Amino acid sequence: MFVAQAYPFAQKARLAVTLAWVAGYVNLVCIIVCGRAVSHVTGTLTALGKDIFDQDWEPLILTCWLLWWFFAGALASGISMAIARARKWKSVYVCPVACEAIALLGFAISLSASGASQVEGGELLVGWGLFASTLFGCFAMGLQNATVSRISSGVVRTTHVTGVLTDLGLEIVNVLRPRAPRRTGGAETPLGLTVNERALLLSLILLSFGLGAGLGGIMLAWTLHLVMLPPIVFLIWIIWLDQSAPLADLIREDTIPPLGIALPAGIGLFRLRCDEGRKRGSHRLPNMTHWLESLDPEIRVAVLDFSEAKDIEVAGAEELCVLGDRLFRAGRALVLAGVTPGRFSALHEVGLDRVLPAGSLARDVPEALAFARDRLKPRIEGT
C-alpha cells in the first residue's frame, strides 16, 4: 500500500480518497478550536500579507508559525522516506504515515492539556495551547500532503480541494464531450486513465474531504478530549494493513535452477520471493504493470515463478490479466510457474486462464520453460 510502485494508479488513488477525510476532519477541528485552517497554506499566506498591512504583529507571529510547521511536516516526510530507502525498507511511506499518527496524538494531547472541557460559544484556544495545537495540526497535514503527493507521483493531493474543484470543472467538460479520448499520460493525468475515471477520482476526494469535515464537527460537538480518536485509529489501521501483508520481491534469474544452465535467448525467468520467517499467505504481488514497463525488450517470453509466493490474491490476479493482455498485444508472452490447484482457482476466478493461451500455466519451472520454448518457436520460424 505504501510503496509508490506497489500498485496501479487506481489503487493508489483509493488510498488518497480515504486519507482526504482525515485532512477535512483535522482542518475542521482546528478552525473551530484554534480559529485557523491547517490543511492548506493558501489562506495562511494571504493572512500573512494582511497582518503585515495591518501591522498586527501577534497574529503575524502565529501565521509564520503555521507556515513553518506545515513546511516542516513536508520536510519530515521527505527525510523519513529517504531514510527508509537507504535502509531498503519495502514500505518507504509507512514511516511518514506513522509520524502523522503521532503528530495527531500530540494534537489531541495539547487540546486536552489546554484545560478546556468543551467548545462553547465559539471560544478559541489562546496562548501556549493555541501554538501547541496548531504546531501538531500543521505538521501532520504537511506530512500527509507530501506523502500522498509522492505516492501518486504528484498527481493527487489530499489536504486542500481548490485544485481538486478546479480540475473537476475542467474534467466535467471532457466528460460531456462525445467520444472523449483516453488520456495518453502526463504529469497531471496518469497513463491510461479515462476522463470519466479522472472525474470520479476528483469527485471522491472532494466528497471525502467534506465528509471528514462533517464527521469532525459531529465528534467535536460530542467531546473535545476524544475528538482526534477516529483519524488516529484510522491511520494506525492502514499501517497495520500494510505491515501485515508486505510485498514479495521479484528477482530475475540468469540461469535455470538448480542446473545453472543459461536461459535460452528471448526467455526471462523471474522468481517471486517472500520474506523468510513470515507465515505463508502474508505477502502481496508487486506492481506488475510497473514491472512490465521496465522489462528488457529482448525478452519475448516472461516466466514468473510463484513457487515461493503465497496464494495469489484476486486483486493481484486481476493485474496479471492486464499484464498478460499487454504482453500479447506487444507480440510477447507470459508463462506462470508454480501454479498449484489453489492458485489456479484464484486465477480462474478472474479469468486469467481464458486471457492466456493454452500452455501458459505450469506446475513448476521446468514445465514453464518448456512452454516458453514453444512460445518462441513460431517467432523463430517466422523470422
Model pLDDT for residues 32-50, shown as the tens digit of each residue: 888 787 877 777 777 777 7
Instruction: Write the pLDDT tens digit of every residue in 335-375.
Output: 888 887 777 777 777 777 777 777 788 888 888 888 888 88
Over residues 87-126, the pLDDT tens digits come to 767 677 788 888 999 999 999 888 877 655 555 544 466 6
- What's the CA angle centered on 38, arms 202 and 122, to 5 degrees? 110
Q: What is the mean pLDDT of residues 305-324?
A: 70
Domain ranges of the chain: 9-243, 249-381
CA distances from 340 to 252, 274, 317, 322 (A): 21, 17, 14, 21
> What architecture (CATH level 2) is domain 249-381?
2-Layer Sandwich (3.30)
Say if residue 237's pLDDT is above 80: yes
Residue 81: pLDDT over 50: yes
pLDDT band at 191 (very low <50, low <70, confident <90, very high): very low
Q: Does 317 score more than 90 pLDDT?
A: no
Cα gap 247→275, rounded to integer Å = 9
- Asked if pLDDT for residue 376 goes beyond 90, the answer is no
Q: What string of H, E and C letters represents the secondary structure of the chain?
A: CCCCCCCCHHHHHHHHHHHHHHHHHHHHHHHHHHCCCCCCCHHHHHHHHHHHHHCCHHHHHHHHHHHHHHHHHHHHHHHHHHHHHHCCCCCCCHHHHHHHHHHHHHHHHHHHHCCCCCCCCCCCCCHHHHHHHHHHHHHHHHHHHHHHHHHCCCCCCCCCCHHHHHHHHHHHHHHHCCCCCCCCCCCCCCCCCCHHHHHHHHHHHHHHHHHHHHHHHHHHHHCCCCCCHHHHHHHHHHHHHHHHCCECEEEEECEECCCCEECCCCEEEEEEECCCCCCCCCCECCCHHHHHHCCCCCCCEEEEECCCCCCCCHHHHHHHHHHHHHHHHCCCEEEEECCCHHHHHHHHHCCHHHHCCCCCECCCHHHHHHHHHHHHHHHHHCC
pLDDT-based confidence at 184, cuts 50/70/90? Answer: very low
* Residue 383's pLDDT band (cuts 50, 70, 90): very low
What strand order describes the sheet that includes 301-305?
249-253, 267-273, 301-305, 333-337
Q: What is the pTM of this model?
A: 0.68
Lowest mean pLDDT among 58-62, 88-92, 249-253: 88-92
Average pLDDT over residues 69-76: 91
Query: What is the percent of the chain where pLDDT is above 90?
Result: 6
Q: Residue 6: which pLDDT band, with cuts at 50, 70 and 90?
A: very low
- In this predicted structure, what is the pLDDT of residue 157? 65
Question: Which of the four pLDDT bands, split at 50, 70 and 90, describes residue 155?
Answer: low
Q: Which of 12-26, 52-66, 211-225 has the highest mean pLDDT?
A: 211-225
State residue 102's pLDDT score. 93
Average pLDDT score, the chain: 76
Distance of CA 363 to the CA centre of its chain: 33
**What pLDDT sits at residue 139?**
92
